Amino acid sequence: MNDLSIFMLLAVVATFFAAGTVKGVAGMGLPTVAMGILAGLLSPLAATSLLIIPSFVTNFWQLLAGPSFKGIVRRLWTMMAGVFAGTLASTSMLTGGDTSLSTLMLGLALTVYAVYTLLAKPYHINPRHECWLSPGIGLITGLISGATGVFVIPAVPYVQALGFEKDDLVQALGLSFTVSTVALAFGLASRGAFQIDGLSLSAFAVVPALVGMWAGQYIRRAVSPAVFKRCFLIALALLGAEMMLRSVW
């Protein structure tokens, strides 16, 4: 194993441990943190390819752990269909080779998500509007996901505004993240962007991600999740801003 591969292995372990820790404390954030860190070392396409397997494993686990799988799928299936369609339509931006544009969009997505989550007040969406909002929100989320590898905007604020109980909210977010990950994998595979060595490293990244989640659950008992989340979002906003500046200089 050469020096570059040793460095990359250590970087992947550290990144997914940190991302898993955030998910263990806050219940979300693994793909967002991993993309934010890895995009400083790799192209957004390479970072997304590494993200696929650990994101799927951790979010599918989150999806199955909740009590209301069938009911949540019935409620959100049109949103999930939009996510899938939008992601497949926009993955060409990740695979097109213009790394400056994809880095700019990734930085913008991270910054918008962090600033919005920090400043926005909680709100509630009337259930009668879900029939037309859900597919549109899903489509926009998919378009952003396919272009950047980040699938939190606008899906997370929208799902949080639907009035789910705590356990159901965690499961609903798990559904959204799982479908987004699968759609992203399909989109990349359809354009020949998956490589076997990348998938092997992605599978290896599951281990530090799960260890990080376990560590994060212990940290949650010692640190206020609200304070941790605020610090995490500030750091994410700064990281996104740095990526945008890097892409234009």
Binned at pLDDT 50, 70 and 90, residue 9 comes out as: confident
Q: Note the pLDDT tens digit of each residue in 226-245.
A: 787 788 888 888 888 888 88
Binned at pLDDT 50, 70 and 90, residue 2 comes out as: very low
Q: Note the pLDDT tens digit of each residue in 98-150.
A: 677 878 888 888 899 889 888 888 889 988 899 999 999 999 999 999 988 88
pLDDT recorded at residue 98: 67
pLDDT recorded at residue 239: 84
Spatial separation of the C-alpha atoms in residues 161 and 137, rounded to whole Å = 12
- Global pTM value: 0.86
pLDDT at 1 over 60: no
Lowest mean pLDDT, pick from 59-63, 79-83, 86-90, 99-103: 99-103
* 3-state SS, residue 106: helix
CA 232 vs. chain centroid, Å, equals: 14
pLDDT recorded at residue 47: 85
Q: Note the pLDDT tens digit of each residue in 184-223.
A: 999 988 887 766 556 788 899 999 999 998 998 888 788 8
Contacts of 238 (CB under 8 A, 6+ apart): none
Phi, psi dihedral angles at 98 (to 5 degrees) = -90, 85
Q: Are 56 and 181 in contact (CB under 8 A)?
A: yes
Q: What is the DSSP letter of 25?
A: H
More confident residue, 233 or 182: 182
pLDDT recorded at residue 3: 46
